[in-house]
Amino acid sequence: MTKIRVGVAGASGYMGAELLRLLLAHPGVTISGVTSERRAGERLDHAYPHLRGLSDLTFHELDGEWLAAHADIVFLALPHLESQRLVPILRARDCKVIDLSADYRLRAAEDYVTWYKAPHTDPRGLAEAVYGLPELHRKEIAGASLVASPGCYAAGAILATAPLVRRGLARLDGIVVDGKSGVTGAGAQGRSVDPMYIYTEANENIQAYGIASHRHTAEIEQELGFLAGAPLRVAFTPHLVPLNRGLFTTASVPLTRGASTPELVELYRECYAGEPFVRVLGQGERPTTRAVVGSNYCDVTVVADPRTSRAVCVSAIDNLGKGGSANGVQDLNLVCGWPERLGLEAPPVYP
């Protein structure tokens, strides 16, 4: 296998660190450059001691021309609104891009004004970007030069509910999604840490935030609307829970007709048949975050609630895995024409 050169911008955050851990063990890539505004000039293994002996790279300052000269494919693990400054530079130099931020996830430019309070500055890139959830857009990702990896809450919610929406069993009004994420979902915030992420506030505590306003709502509605063939609205509430990593989703979906739990579970098995990273649990089994940590897996199940004519859909992912960097590596494999499991074969970490 001929190795490709991969660069990582924003490599000093949690998402970047997880991406480096995966790429260093990937047989198809050589990490050729890493950037960090906070740690420019510092050795990678000094910033992350768990990578000692695995890399002698040094963080470079963020520079699109430098990245383009050193890499064939660049991962962007940057704060929102930053990627759209770099993408035009990288693509002009024929670099393919996998963006882990939100900058290219939404199809309509006006949605960025609504949800991110800023206009999008790269309309050409936005028009050509592919939403990077392989379970929905595998063929498009394989031919893409710009892939927008999903947000963690969006990935958990979409995978939990997609089979019902795809098969026309979900009513498009009244879908309610509850998401719970570990604290790494907020990123490595450096000196400007929101008090809710301080240990004494997060430990032994659960907090709702972004109520009726969280940005991943737009992704969930966009992608489920794509499956439904019609616009829909979702009531989504995220919560912070005292975990390092992990994301748990419970979605209550009104049904268009009556259905039993065995029927719905079989539907999920049919829809996800052949998917390498979606594990449909049987009746009586329940997803847990512990069973997916450190992996690209999504564990999912569904239970019928005939009393309310609803289905309760449950999924568990690692917010840095299927909700972030590992999904980005799956996208990389598709872009390069490699087996999707390449570099992602290790089972989840337990306990």
Q: Which residues are catalytic?
A: 152
State the Cα–Cα distance between residues 20 and 9, nearest whole angstrom: 11
Q: Are 98 and 73 in contact (CB under 8 A)?
A: yes
Compute how many other C-beta atoms are within 10 angstroms of the C-beta atom of residue 123. Answer: 11
Angle made by CA atoms 337, 340, 344, in degrees to the nearest 5: 130
Q: Are 79 and 11 in contact (CB under 8 A)?
A: no
Phi-psi region at 348: left, alpha or beta (left = phi > 0; alpha = psi -120 to 50): beta
Alpha helix positions (H), the chain: 14-23, 44-47, 64-70, 83-92, 109-116, 123-128, 134-142, 152-166, 199-202, 216-228, 261-271, 325-336
